Amino acid sequence: MPETNTPKTLNKPDGNLRWVICSLLFFSVAINYLDRLTISVLKTPLSEQFGWSNSDYGYITGAFSFAYAFGYLFGGRLSDRWGVKKALPYFVGAWSLFAGLHGLCAFLDLDETITAIAPEIRTAFPYLVISFVTVPMTAAGFIYGRIALGLCQGGNFPAAIKTVAEWFPVRERATATGWFNAGSNVGAVACPFIVSYLYAAVGFQLTFYITGAVGLVWVIAWKALYRPPEEHPKLSPSELAYIRDGQPESEEKPPQVPWISLLGYRAAWAYLIASILAGPAWGFYQFFVPDFLQQVFSLDQGDTAKATASFFLVATAGGVLGGWFAGKLLAKGWSLNKARKTALLVCALCVVPIYFAPFVPSVWMAIAIVGIAGSAHQGWSANLFSVVGDTMPREAISSVVGMGGFAAYMTGGFVNIITGAILDKTGSYISVFAYFSGMYILSLIAIQILVPVIGRKSKATN
């Protein structure tokens, strides 16, 4: 079977409503990361206030990752079943509520109150046991809060990927994915400054309440602006034709493809393996890079906020550039297969130097190394997400993305817990950085073996 040809060149349409929709996805992801990363910015003051160890913090972030995995899996399924018009505002509204409820965990800090009223209770129940893990009561409260947050936030990306597949032609998908995925970095850049300011001004409880309320504004905007392409009154006929002409012809499929049948696709297995190997890296960057910079370079809270924001600022460019790079190669006549894999290879090679981050003498050198790796991860993700859209039936895209996210974040949960244990035992990040430096290369090898030509509907049983 011949290799898939480059998508045909289309005339530019009259209108850019598809990019307005992309901007809504961008802001949903930015808010997602603002709510997600608040706890990483406040790790040091919360740990000091509540007496958490690195292992306690590892359990808290691990709980989020495990829950996010299930949220990703079932969020993708619900997006395919309900459609993104209904599913995405449900996800954003629910996680915004639970993000705000993190502030209630302050009431679990009962040392002073219980000691004054009934000291024998505090003596008898100083800790809470969760799944054979003993943690302080406040840590347990945050664990439950992070579980609720993760379950709701997991649907954001599968729904966004499905929206891009519906609203963009093939040649623009990676670019659109890169743009909305850049919201993760914008949210991450803004988060240290916003959260540090709010914490200093109003304390951690109101910080969670305020950041949680932001998502409700987005829900209102989505309800007002979003419709499917065929139903949108403001979408011009030429733009609708541009979107549809640049997409593969829809195959006759059942309304929902059974999960078990998705495992028959080589592309699904390639995505799952890459998600297991390289996917956990981003969770590590989110929850441990602020601590790495603060502990290794002895930064205060303000300097940590600046350094963390700088890391995410460097990483911001990756998603956009990764998608743009693949699109540029396609525009030059490269095949879809060659363009996607070349972009993935460049991103994989840019992560390798992260091994040296713990050894450099300057915080800005460390930020540059880790930031480039984070940027490469975003470019990698933009193209890997697009590979799913390039290779799977449209009716199954969100489900496959959800399966990959489940695999990535389940693995990431264990990685976070193990990272906390390693830090308590060794105080060093060297082994963790060494692990992630080679995972992208291994992932690309797996992709090449399982999907020799991107664009073919290759079944694993063929």
Q: Indicate the range of 218-227, 392-401, 416-425 predicted with least confidence.
A: 392-401
pLDDT at res. 1: 35
Average pLDDT, the chain: 83
Q: Which of 90-104, 243-257, 304-318 has the lowest mean pLDDT?
A: 243-257
pLDDT, residue 114, reads 45
Fold of 17-248+257-450: Growth Hormone; Chain: A; (1.20.1250)
Measured CA to CA, the distance from residue 153 to residue 155 in angstroms comes to 6
More confident: 113 or 142? 142
Instruction: Indicate the pLDDT class of residue 251, thresholds 50, 70 and 90.
Output: very low
Low-confidence winner among 144-153, 191-200, 377-386 (lowest mean pLDDT): 377-386
Confidence grade of residue 204 (pLDDT, cut at 50, 70, 90): confident
Say if residues 87 and 79 touch (Cβ distance below 8 Å).
yes
- Which residues 6+ apart lie within 8 Å of 32 measured at CB? 92, 95, 153, 156, 183, 184, 187
- Segment 364-372 shows an average pLDDT of 93
What does the pLDDT average to over 355-374?
92
Region 350-375 average pLDDT: 93
CB 265 within 8 A of CB 392: yes
pLDDT at 347: 92
- The more confident residue out of 230 and 445 is 445
Domain coordinates in residue numbering, the chain? 17-248+257-450
- Work out the pLDDT band at 48, boundaries 50, 70, 90: confident
Three-class SS of residue 133? strand
Instruction: Encode pLDDT of 68-78 as tens digits.
Output: 888 877 887 78
pTM reported for the whole predicted model: 0.71
Mean local confidence (pLDDT), 402-406: 80
In 3-state terms, what secondary structure has residue 226? coil
- The Cβ of residue 200 has, within 10 Å, a number of other Cβ atoms equal to 12
